[in-house]
Amino acid sequence: MAGDSGGAVLLSEAGPGVRVVTLNRPGVGNAMTEEMTRDWDRVLDRVAADSGTRVLVVTGQGESFSSGADLSWLVENQDQGQGGEVTIDRLRERMLPFYRSWLRPRWLSFPVIAAVNGPAVGAGVCLALACDLRVAGPGAHFSTPFVFRGTHGGMAATWLLPEAVGITRAREMLYTGRQVAPALALEWGLVNDTADDALQHALAMAERIAQAAPIALRLTKNGLEQAAGGLEASLQWEALAQPVTLTTSDLHESITAFHEQRPPQFRGR
């Protein structure tokens, strides 16, 4: 896959099966502008359609991961005397597609790793939480100061935060807007690991994951979503998903590689 060399969101290939998406508006802290949202959707469409993708890494250019949603268009409408057009229904129609665009890592069929290289604020935290795994660099911190900006949390903040850190800590983050530094984020379970270089650490994780059997890996990600339905839902899913993997060529490759004492070469079939 050829990489993108310009635009608000960059796409590159870091190794076999590993793709990297970089938010590329460091001058505004990689805020989620309309332009960036369009580029994000375009790039993720390419990644999702690429059968060679096994793992995706998401990071930010410069010193920020993402400063969150850019709502300057709302202020501009009001400044131009267009405040009457900003109705609740129209805002809802605009926000829902925005939320769903940036939460797409949650629904991609392969694992996604957030390399949080700098501050993640508001919707930027939600983007990180939409990824399957998170690595925080020394310059990272996480904060959700929605109420101190006069707004309710968006992009599923009230669901993603409790899922990651529990309801008590989610309340603290949402009520106080406190900045959670990398060490505390690791203690709370907000991130999986910390590293001096978040991107390089995330790429090492991605390289390891990319060596797994693709069908089994994708079904495992789906299975973790099914687990939200409880024990019986998990049993029903696994009683279907495991037999699927038992009929693949990758399973036979795994057995052969074990006997030949070599790493398996999975082909996703």
Per-residue pLDDT tens over the stretch 94-146:
889 999 999 999 999 999 999 999 999 999 999 999 999 999 999 999 999 99
pLDDT at residue 81 above 70?
A: no
Task: For residues 72 and 203, state if they share a domain.
Answer: yes
CB-count burial class (<10 Å; 0-12, 13-18, 19+) for 124? buried
Mean pLDDT along residues 155-165: 97
Mean pLDDT along residues 57-64: 97
Q: Supply the CATH number for residue 139's domain.
A: 3.90.226.10
Q: Name the band, by pLDDT with cuts 50, 70 and 90, for residue 84.
A: low
Phi then psi dihedrals of residue 171, to 5 deg: -60, -45
3-class SS of residue 148 = helix
Task: For residues 96 and 171, state if they share a domain.
Answer: yes
| H-state helical runs in 121-188 | 123-130, 157-165, 167-176, 182-188
Please give the sequence-ordered ranges of beta strands (E in DSSP) within 174-266, or none if there are none. Answer: 193-194
d(Cα 146, Cα 137) in Å, to the nearest integer? 23
- Range of the structural domain that residue 92 is part of: 9-210
Q: Which residues lie closer than 8 Å to 257 by C-beta, 6 or more apart? A: 263, 264, 265
Q: How many CA atoms are closer than 13 Å to the CA of 16, on its beta-carbon side?
A: 9
Task: For residues 203 and 241, state if they share a domain.
Answer: no
**Domain total for the chain?**
2
Q: Name the band, by pLDDT with cuts 50, 70 and 90, for residue 72.
A: confident
Task: For residues 75 and 42, state if they share a domain.
Answer: yes
- Asked whether the whole model's pTM tops 0.85, one would answer yes
Q: Name the band, by pLDDT with cuts 50, 70 and 90, for residue 27.
A: very high
DSSP 256: H
Tokens of 201: 């650490």
**Within a domain: residue 265?**
no
